[in-house]
Amino acid sequence: MTNPAPSKLALVPFVSVDNMMKIVNTIGPATMIAEIAAYIEADFKRWEEFDKTPRVAAHSSEGVIELMPTSDGETYGFKYVNGHPANMARGFQTVTAFGVLARVDNGYPILFSEMTVLTALRTAATSAVAAKYLAPEGSSTMAMIGNGAQCEFQALAFQKIIGIDTVRLYDIDPVATDKAAENLKDTGLTIVKCSSPEEAVTGAQIITTCTADKQYATILTDNMVGSGVHINAIGGDCPGKTELHRDILLRSDIFVEFPPQTRIEGEIQQLDEDHPVTELWRVIAGRNTGRSTASQITLFDSVGFATEDFSALRYVRDQLEATGHFVELDLLADPDDPRDLFGMVRRAKG
């Protein structure tokens, strides 16, 4: 017996890595980051509509595996993501991810997507959205400390959305810096390769830290950070992993995504539980002030939050019809009679 063709309800759009790269190259990386940023900003403005919970994490000595769920009442989304700093030395990616969107009314998934590439895009987009409200006006130079997988996406985001024209690169591995400089050479950015983090931050109005070691690290010392800068700290994203000296935090106005998660995983795990922070959504929604003085040090203590993945997945789903870069997976059992799942299996025997 020939199995009947699956119904449309059983088919779920799937965006593979190959599909995602085609979508990115069809739209253009910088344009796609900017468009995802618009979705993220819109969803931050309706922050109160979302279910919010710190990500569900399974920690080990090697790294972490996490689930990041959220819902706006109509659509549910989650991301599966790992973080294993030693992976690169073993020939694996440090971070890999996939994500799902589903209808709340019936629980059926409506999108299944790779999110390793997409997470890099949405992380860069989120950084730039925060900088839009927090960075000094007229910022033109960004220091990028840590030139791994996130580096180029961050540079493009800040060029497209904030208007920077110069990126000063530093990594403890010069090969990573050379890689980033090569990838960015035709973007119109002025690329400066630096031999130390101190050299990298010289003249920068924005400092982005993005390193991978799972440890309490001091990528920026207190004397490296002058008044009036914006720090985009995106490398600290699990307990026991930080990048900034505690004294920098004490001099900064700190902005976070979701405090219950950031206090566990972000730079502010170094501070007392009652240390004041401002939720970024409140600034975007006009409830709180972002940057208020030229001398202020602003710090976006970013660890990544589920609503940002939700926004990115929502954006990708909206591009499927226009780009056509997806396949349909026969993912859901869909018997003619919902009560007769066994009968569907038996009849498939032939």
**Residues designated catalytic:** 237
Distance of CA 122 to the CA centre of its chain: 4
* Length of the chain measured in residues: 350
Residues 6+ apart with CB under 8 A from 244: 209, 218, 219, 220, 231, 233, 236, 267, 299
- Asked whether 13 and 112 are in contact (CB, 8 A), the reply is yes
- Asked whether 332 and 265 are in contact (CB, 8 A), the reply is no
Residues 6+ apart with CB under 8 A from 258: 52, 54, 279, 305
Which residue, among 207, 257, 255, 198, has the nearest Cα to 227 in the 3D structure? 207
Angle at 256 between CA 83 and CA 100, to 5 degrees: 50
- Asked whether 225 and 156 are in contact (CB, 8 A), the reply is no
Residue with tokens 């924005």: 206
Which residue, among 75, 28, 61, 146, has the nearest Cα to 306 in the 3D structure? 75
Quickly list DSSP for 22-80. HHHHHH-HHHHHHHHHHHHHHHHHTGGGSB----EEEE-SS-EEEEEEEE-SSEEEEEE
Distance CA 132, CA 134 (A): 6
Which residue, among 148, 149, 152, 186, has the nearest Cα to 167 in the 3D structure? 152
- Token pair of 266 as six digits: 């972000």
